[in-house]
Amino acid sequence: MTMRVLTLGLLLTTTACSMTPKLTLPTPPVAATYPVEIDGEAVPEWQAMFADARLQTLITLALSENRDLRMAALNAEAARAQIRVQRAQGLPSVNLDTAYTRQRQPVGVARAGGGLNTGDAAGASFGQVTVQAALTNFEIDLFGRLRAQNAAATERYLASREGQRAVRLTVIGAVADTYLAERLAEEQLQLTEATLAEWQASLTLARQLHDAGQSSGLDLAQAEGQVRQAQADVAQRQRERQQATNGLVAAVGAPIPADLPPPISLGAQPIRTALAAYTPSDLLTRRPDIMQAEHELSAANADIGAARAAFFPRLSLTGAFGFASAALQTLFQSGNQSWSYAPAVSVPIFRGGELKATLDLSRIRTSIAVANYEKTIQTAFREVSDGLAARATFSTQRTAQSEAVQQAERRLALARLAYRAGVTSRLELLDAQRTVYAARQTMLSVRHAELTSATALYRALGGAS
């Protein structure tokens, strides 16, 4: 009875001690404000951020087919299962065991062992039926080792959940980026093909003037070289378009459906670019990668507690209660009860430095987790700052480039009239044509960069909560 009372008292004190140090998150190693502060609209859900119906269809498909996202979900489920495994180690393990044994002893051994005189002259035979419920090596967590392991498993599960959110946000951004790259490649190809057709018409005119003796062979050679260059550019743009399509298929994780909504040009893309930035402190609770790093830090800190607790004694309990009888029909009679009770204490004496090394390793891993947490915050701060800087300048750049295109087109129109009138040389017209071509290509690139920077800012802000 005294032992039972003692064990009950120990059980009641299982939550009295913890070796896990208190975790204090480091001060974010970034400035309190961004270098550029711009007001704007709140970060919307991705459906509102990317209002292009074609792009929405592709993102929806990617969220169900992308393999990175699928693996992240499976990793989260695996971490969740690990929590159940870890918690089960802190609960009693009870087994129901049944057995039947029968043996024969020589008559001399039987009489010496207990005076059995049943059986024939050569010996005695007897049987036994047992049924018992057994509690095996149940550890009483006096110093919080199991609780620290449970806490670490829980934090790693939460980290995997945040990792799943981070991958989901990355997939959305990757599909948007590859879609915009595919749109850019397609529109660049269309521009190059239109330019080639225009330059081929100019070459036809140059041949006519040359045949009529109104232009030199130099003008004709320049026109032919210009057409050949445009043909080479078309081949390059075709290759880039196919490669962009391949990248889009890889980002989605499935073949592109044939019945997608019609595409929207880069110039008319409804992607929101006027996003408002959260403060650096707000990013700590909005960015899934920062939350993931924080949970990983908490898990590493809990590992320190488990490593510390391993230095102290472990108290375990093994017990059994059941019935034993020589006959099955009398097994459950009150006089056939049997029980055993065996508490045990294990004190580490010599482990070859394993416990100290494990504790040191836990502390080092916690320091690594702190550095990773701080680095993740710094990366987030930079990404948001870059996004805000892009947003502050792209509008001005796009307006200026649009005006540059208009001026180049005006110059080309004047150069074409002057060339046909014989006022200027073919070289002036050639230069004007190339200037328009380059300005239009640059305009497409600027608009593409503006849209991709808006997508990057959306990811940097952690998407919608």
pLDDT (tens digit per residue) in 251-262: 999 999 999 999
Lowest-confidence segment of 72-86, 347-361, 413-427 by average pLDDT: 413-427
Cα(55)–Cα(175) distance, integer angstroms: 8
What pLDDT does 52 receive?
Answer: 96
Give bridge partners of residue 131 from the DSSP assignment: 98, 323
Domain boundaries, the chain: 16-90+142-311+353-460, 92-140+313-347
pLDDT in tens, 340-358: 888 888 888 888 899 999 9
Q: What is the pLDDT of residue 202?
A: 84
What's the pLDDT at 134? 85
pLDDT of residue 220: 83
The mean of the pLDDT values for the chain is 87
The predicted structure's pLDDT at residue 341: 81
pLDDT of 5 = 41
Q: Cβ(218)–Cβ(430) under 8 Å?
A: no
Q: Name the least confident of 7-11, 112-116, 217-221.
A: 7-11
CB atoms within 10 A of CB 232: 12
Highest mean pLDDT among 1-15, 68-82, 132-146: 68-82
Q: Average the pLDDT over 93-107 and give the result.
A: 79
Question: What pLDDT is recorded for position 1?
Answer: 41
Amino acid at the residue 155: E
The letter for the amino acid at 13 is: T
What are the tokens at 93?
Answer: 């393990």
d(CA 444, CA 451): 11
Residue 120 binned pLDDT confidence (cut-offs 50, 70, 90): low
- Which CATH number is 16-90+142-311+353-460's, of 1.20.1600.10, 3.40.640.10, 3.40.50.300, 3.30.1330.40? 1.20.1600.10
pLDDT above 70 (res 368) = yes
Other Cβ atoms within 10 Å of 372 Cβ, number: 15
Res. 219 pLDDT band, cuts 50 70 90 = confident
CATH homologous superfamily, domain 92-140+313-347: Outer membrane efflux proteins (OEP) (2.20.200.10)
| Range in 104-108, 240-244, 342-346, 400-404 the model is least confident about | 104-108
Q: Token pair 């062992």 is at which residue?
A: 113
Residue whose token pair is 């044509």: 433
pLDDT at 241 over 90: yes
Residue 430 has pLDDT above 80, yes or no: yes
Average pLDDT over every residue of 263-292: 91
Answer with the residue of higher pLDDT: 425 or 248.
248
**Res. 240 pLDDT band, cuts 50 70 90:** very high
Digit-coded pLDDT (tens) for 26-60: 999 999 888 887 788 889 999 999 999 999 999 99
Separation CA 170–CA 462 (nearest Å): 10
Q: Which of 318, 315, 319, 307 is nearest to 346 (CA)?
A: 315
pLDDT tens-digit series, residues 162-209: 999 999 999 999 999 999 999 999 999 999 999 999 889 888 888 887
What pLDDT, on a 0 to 100 scale, did the predictor assign at position 112? 56
Percent of the chain predicted with pLDDT > 90: 55
What count of other Cβ atoms lies within 10 Å of the Cβ of residue 315? 19
Q: How many CB atoms lie within 10 A of CB 25?
A: 12
pLDDT the model gives residue 8: 45
| 153: pLDDT strictly greater than 90 | yes
Model confidence at 102: pLDDT above 60: yes
**Residue 400: pLDDT over 80:** yes
User: Between vectors from CA 236 to CA 230 and to CA 242, what angle results, nearest 5°?
Assistant: 135
Band of pLDDT at residue 454, cut at 50, 70 and 90: very high
Task: Give me the pLDDT at residue 465, please.
Answer: 58
Could you give the CA distance from residue 361 to residue 401 in angstroms, rounded to a whole number?
Answer: 57
321 has pLDDT over 70: yes
If we measure between CA atoms, which residue out of 286, 269, 288, 279 comes closest to residue 452? 269
User: How many beta carbons lie within 10 A of that of residue 74, not counting itself?
Assistant: 12
Show the 3-state SS of the chain: CHHHHHHHHHHHCCCCCCCCCCCCCCCCCCCCCCCCCCCCECCCCHHHHCCCHHHHHHHHHHHHHCHHHHHHHHHHHHHHHHHHHHHHCCCCCEEEEEEEEEEEEEHHHHHHHHCCCCCCCCEEEEEEEEEEEEEEEEEECCCCHHHHHHHHHHHHHHHHHHHHHHHHHHHHHHHHHHHHHHHHHHHHHHHHHHHHHHHHHHHHHHHHHHHCCCCCHHHHHHHHHHHHHHHHHHHHHHHHHHHHHHHHHHHHCCCCCCCCCCCCCHHHCCCCCCECCCCHHHHHHHCHHHHHHHHHHHHHHHHHHHHHHCCCCEEEEEEEEEEEECCHHHCCCHHHEEEEEEEEEECCCCCCCHHHHHHHHHHHHHHHHHHHHHHHHHHHHHHHHHHHHHHHHHHHHHHHHHHHHHHHHHHHHHHHHHHHCCCCCHHHHHHHHHHHHHHHHHHHHHHHHHHHHHHHHHHHCCCCC
Whether the CB-CB separation of 325 and 336 falls below 8 Å is answered with yes
16-90+142-311+353-460 and 92-140+313-347 have identical folds = no
Q: From the CB of residue 216, how many other CB atoms can be counted at a distance below 10 Å?
A: 14
The pLDDT value recorded for residue 237 is 95
More confident residue, 98 or 187: 187
Alpha-carbon distance of 122 to 437, in angstroms, equals: 114
CB 184 within 8 A of CB 244: yes
pLDDT, residue 12, reads 42
- Nearest 5°: phi and psi at 369? -65, -35
Tokens standing for residue 235: 């081949």
